[in-house]
């Protein structure tokens, strides 16, 4: 098949939406990050330049690679993907490789390259899980010995390593995606409810053992508590969105981005977006995310094999959870977890991995259409 035919056989709707989100994200980042970038580096375009070089360019390369290569080639690499997932999360503790930022062992530096392993694990662990579910379809995947226990061991290992970093946001995305995908594979609803209850219990224990997480959770319940301390972030985010009203203050006219709102380039960019563009525009962006997610599930439903179905559905679930966590935390509906808004927030690792994952989903229909 020629390269032109391969491009034509991709899901062009998903390709266009993805490119549109990346372009909009760059425009939004240009406005949101300027004051912080100038204050930190003297260059108001610093975060925009870094997003292009470390996120968008490698991400587009990853998008094209995974879109044009037959996704079935990744099935034999499932166990290797699990090994890579666990190894990356362990390497962050190795002196000389791991980097501790803001109290978290969440980064690796290999030569000139610095990246966040938990972002890559969202993708590699999904590949493993999709192949595992395909191999153990039916009773085997949902038997206690051959299905539930191996599933819990794999998910539990990843979860524990992320807790120790700590990276609660990535843990929520990965574990949530795994549980939903396992449920969609046909697992009994009683198991799903039981696992959710177990997760709730573990979260309660985690809050009890971690005073900082407990304080963040209490701030979510009562944002008025400690407005100049732990509650500062959520209060400034709500103030930003509230001041935007229905139609916003206008692009570039955010007040909170002038060193009032923390993490304006990454976690809080949706708050700046709400302040500048307003509630109606935010609702439109959320609707477009919903359409992209629906497209992933449509591709999953029409996939020619279970492996492709689980991959596409998994990316759709991942996108759903991560978007909801970011927007929900900035509006006070969910605790702040430090999760970025896909395609829009600053973050080279997150952008590269998410674009690669979307390329994989966009290429799945090609196998159904042409068989190769």
Going residue by residue through the chain (372 aa), what tens digit of pLDDT does each one get?
Answer: 566 666 777 888 999 999 999 999 999 999 999 899 988 898 999 999 999 999 999 999 999 999 988 899 999 988 888 888 888 888 888 877 777 776 667 778 777 777 888 888 899 999 999 998 888 765 555 666 767 788 888 888 888 888 877 778 888 899 899 988 988 877 777 777 777 777 777 777 766 666 666 666 666 556 666 566 666 788 888 888 888 889 999 998 988 888 788 888 888 899 999 999 999 999 999 999 999 999 999 999 988 889 999 999 999 999 999 999 999 888 877 877 778 999 999 988 899 999 999 999 998 987 766 555
Which pLDDT score, from 0 to 100, does residue 116 have? 85
pLDDT of residue 103: 65
Where exactly are the structural domains of the chain? Answer: 3-370
**Maximum Cα–Cα distance across the chain:** 62
DSSP one-letter code for 104: E
- What was the pLDDT predicted at 228? 62
CA distance 238 to 248: 14
Q: Write out the two tokens for 319.
A: 């996108």
What is the pTM for the complete model shown?
0.89
d(CA 313, CA 270): 25
For residue 138 the two structure tokens come to 């039916």
**CA–CA distance, 143 with 112 (Å, rounded to integer):** 46
Q: Are 83 and 124 in contact (CB under 8 A)?
A: no
pLDDT of 84: 83
Kind of pairing, strands 98-101 and 113-115? Answer: unpaired
pLDDT at 112: 75
């Amino acid at each position: 098949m020629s390269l032109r035919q391969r491009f034509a056989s991709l899901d062009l709707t998903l390709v266009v939406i993805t490119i549109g989100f990346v372009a909009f994200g760059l425009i939004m980042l240009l406005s949101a990050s300027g004051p912080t970038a100038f204050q930190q580096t003297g260059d108001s375009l610093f975060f925009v330049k870094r997003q292009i070089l470390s996120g968008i360019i490698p991400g587009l390369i990853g998008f094209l690679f995974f879109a044009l290569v037959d996704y079935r080639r990744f099935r034999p690499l499932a166990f290797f993907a699990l090994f890579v997932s666990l190894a990356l999360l362990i390497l962050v503790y190795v002196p000389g490789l791991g980097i501790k930022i803001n109290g978290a062992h969440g980064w690796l530096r290999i030569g000139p390259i610095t990246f966040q392993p938990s972002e890559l694990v969202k993708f590699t662990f999904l590949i493993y899980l999709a192949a595992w579910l395909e191999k153990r379809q039916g009773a085997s995947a949902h038997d206690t010995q051959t299905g539930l226990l191996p599933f819990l061991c794999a998910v539990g290992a990843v979860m524990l390593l992320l807790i120790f970093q700590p990276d609660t946001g990535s843990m929520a995305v990965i574990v949530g995606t795994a549980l939903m995908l396992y449920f969609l594979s046909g697992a009994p609803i009683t198991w799903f409810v039981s696992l959710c209850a177990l997760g709730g219990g573990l979260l309660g224990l985690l809050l009890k053992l971690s005073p900082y997480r407990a304080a963040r959770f209490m701030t979510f319940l009562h944002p008025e508590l400690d407005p100049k301390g732990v509650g500062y972030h959520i209060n400034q985010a709500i103030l930003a969105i509230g001041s935007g009203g229905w139609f916003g203050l206008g692009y570039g006219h955010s007040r909170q981005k002038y060193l009032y709102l923390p993490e304006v380039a990454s976690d809080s960019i949706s708050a700046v977006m709400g302040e500048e563009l307003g509630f109606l525009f935010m609702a439109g962006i959320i609707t477009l995310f919903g359409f992209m997610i629906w497209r992933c599930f449509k591709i999953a439903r029409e996939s020619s094999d279970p492996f492709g179905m689980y991959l596409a559905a998994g990316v759709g679930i991942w996108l759903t959870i991560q978007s909801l966590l970011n927007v929900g935390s900035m509006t006070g509906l969910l605790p702040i977890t430090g999760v970025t808004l896909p395609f829009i927030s600053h973050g080279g690792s997150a952008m590269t991995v998410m674009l690669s994952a979307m390329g994989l989903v966009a290429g799945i229909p090609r196998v159904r259409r042409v068989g190769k």
